[in-house]
Amino acid sequence: MVAGDYLLAGLVAMLTGLDRVALVQAMISRPLVAAPLTGWLLGNPMIGLEIGMLLELLWLGRLPVGAAIPPDDTQVAVGATVLALSVGPLLGLHGMPMVILAVLVAIPLGKFGQVFDRLARHVNDRLAVSGENALLAGSTRGMERNHLFGLASFALASLATALVIVLVGSFILYEAAPFLIGAVREAGLSLQYSLVLVGAASLLGTINVNRSISLFCAAFTGTLLVLWLG
């Protein structure tokens, strides 16, 4: 990857971060969209799609609604894609083993997104007071300026999260990949299924439906029967 690729990734991080809570909310912030979009701009959309599919289930039931601030799934998706495409070739790692390593490293670093998101919200609290004072003084331009600053604070928080994931994740991968890659290659398929099952279990826990376990088991059994008959 060259400097222009990192700039593109940073732009995607800010745009998808704004879509997450602050602007439009066209759902491009979902990992299933953000990761393939990042991969496409960096020349490998399939890597992004694989990462997005692994991450989407894990956060499907944890939305940044109201005062809830979950780890930043959007920047985990963007950062993991950048890690797979930038660090992988340098380590000589390709395909699903590198995807799994990038995802496993990026997921815990998504906690930094909560920190930067809280900072952005604190900044916006002060901007809201400043904007209200501007309106009381008859300055609509001042209110508009504070509103734009509020959007910028969320964009910068998203960029900071992506930077932490890429920088810290790169260091971890350089140090740990030589020791982990053998185990990841041996257990690659099992790890893929494990991530999917953990995501399904996490989503199941958010379903407010009576007898949800029975419904899940029935659907799972029905799917197996369809695959067997096919």
Chain centre to alpha carbon of residue 152: 19
Q: What is the DSSP string of 154-188?
A: HHHHHHHHHHHHHHHHHHHHHHHHHHHHHHHHHTH
Query: What integer is the mean pLDDT of 149-157?
Result: 85
Q: Among 118-122, 145-149, 220-224, which is the least confidently predicted range?
A: 220-224
**Crossing angle of helices 3-21 and 31-41, rounded to 10°:** 160
Q: Helix, strand, coil % (nearest 5) of the chain?
A: 80, 0, 20
In total, the chain counts a number of residues equal to: 230
Domain region containing 42: 3-229
pLDDT level of residue 81 (50, 70, 90 thresholds): very high
pTM score of the predicted model: 0.73
Q: Report pLDDT digits (tens) over 174-199.
A: 877 666 666 555 555 555 555 555 55
Structural domain count, the chain: 1
